[in-house]
Amino acid sequence: MLEPKYCRPRPVELDVQMKYRNIFLATLASVVLVSLIDAFTNAIDIAKYSWDFRHYIALAEQGFKAQPLLSPFAYRYPTPFIAMALRSFCGIPTEMGFKAVAYLGAILQLVGVFIFVQHFTKSRKSAYVALLTTALAFCNVKSLMFDVYRPDHMAYVLVILGFYCGLTSRFYGLLLITAIGVQFREFAILPLIAFITALAAGGQWRALRRYVLPALICFLVAVALPRLLIPVTGSVQSVSSLRSVFTIPFDFKRDLNLAYSIIAYLLPTLMLINTQRVRLILAQLPAEVKRFVLIYALLVILLSMYGGSDLLRFVTYLFIVQALLVGLLSRLASGTEIITMLMATFIFNRIWLPLPVWDMDKYLDFWGGYASRVNWATFSRCVELVVFIALSVLIRRISSQTVPKDTAQVSRPG
């Protein structure tokens, strides 16, 4: 589907050296960023609260014998089982095991974004901008340093791999990544669904006939089979009946929070984008790429609608779409625009502040976008969004930014 920008051939040895040097530097930057964000983030008090984390801790300590064994937590067993293995074989306490997975997942996520964006834009600057944007996002790092027991750490990494396989038509690699990824988090199945749907939307019936059966087998083995074999004793999923499928979208306040969450998460993209840049990027993207990316984004939004209360945590799976867009847009934006965008993202997401868990109202309003909770804090955050986006427009006009000659390009294979 998607190939990196054409560039003048260089000696293979030099390319390999530069590649590994860039990855090493990106890894170093990711370690520093994750450590700094963690240093400014308080830890959740597991003795005071009884949230989702208690189910993951129970899985890590008791396996599938944990009681109650509830859906969907029981189906996200790999992270707790890694913590269990670290305790059993290395003597690492459960909490530290989860912390180790959180650090590893956060670092791999940022390095993965860097490699992904650099591969498709052939721009180290764009890759670092995408890395920083992801690190400063709502829940991609900070929230997972606060609550290290979440299953999303490694899921983000696997979504990057699945998205890459989908964009480059590596179907059987996509199947393997999906089968592993959905054990961590359900969102990992979306690149596969987007790939199959994009084929149908593009009328590629021959390829569709070849891939539908393997995709269905993957779904049955990786999704349906665990739900048949794992002996859950109850469910706390938001979609508990056919009726809820139809009633949830008509919760106006929840819809408002979902819209807010999407706009808030995509703030970096919205601060760099304008009509001219949209036209330029869309003109360079192959039709099948546009279909795949758009379908994936719509699927994330759809799954977020039915996912539960923490809407902001769900829309973060747009991170790979945003990374690609910010990478392409940063080739067309001035340094002033990029710095302003990164500063606004840092400020809007309160990266330097501890999460106020000592006051539940303040905690729920810290980022906003929680279930159907709409109040003056929601209004305040929306005003803040408008101010940052307006600031970016003003800076672009003042600087009279012109499109650089070295524009981002994405070309068809061959």
pLDDT at residue 49 above 60?
yes
b/e 296-322 (16+ beta carbons within 10 angstroms → b):
bbebbbebbbebebbbbbbbbbbbbbb
Does residue 305 form part of some domain? yes
410 located within any domain: no
Q: Is residue 209 part of a domain?
A: yes
pLDDT at 5: 47
* Of 263, 287, 260, nearest in space to 273 by CA: 263
Q: State how many domains the chain has.
A: 1
Residue positions counted in the chain:
414
pLDDT at residue 215 above 80? yes
What would you measure as the largest C-alpha separation in the chain, in angstroms? 63
Q: What is the extent of the structural domain holding 368?
A: 12-235+250-399
CA 287 distance to own-chain centroid: 23
What is the percent of the chain where pLDDT is above 90? 84
Which tops the pLDDT comparison, 405 or 344?
Answer: 344
Look up residue 222 and give its DSSP letter. Answer: I
Identify the pLDDT of residue 2: 54
User: What is the per-residue pLDDT for 154?
Assistant: 96
Establish if 302 belongs to a structural domain.
yes
Domain membership of residue 2 (yes or no) is no
**Cα–Cα distance measured from residue 387 to residue 347, given in angstroms and rounded to the nearest whole number:** 12
- The C-alpha atoms of residue 324 and residue 120 are separated, in whole angstroms, by 8
218, 192 Cβ separation under 8 angstroms: yes
Asked if residue 376 belongs to a domain, the reply is yes
Alpha-carbon Rg of the chain, whole angstroms? Answer: 21
Q: Mind listing the pLDDT tens digit for each residue in 362-414?
A: 999 999 999 999 999 999 999 999 999 999 999 998 876 454 544 445 544 33
216 in a domain, yes or no?
yes
Q: What pLDDT shows up at residue 14? A: 60
Chain-wide mean pLDDT for the chain?
91
Q: Is the per-residue pLDDT at 150 higher than 60?
A: yes
Question: Would you say residue 184 lies in a domain?
Answer: yes
Q: Is the peptide bond before 68 cis (omega within 30 degrees of 0)?
A: yes
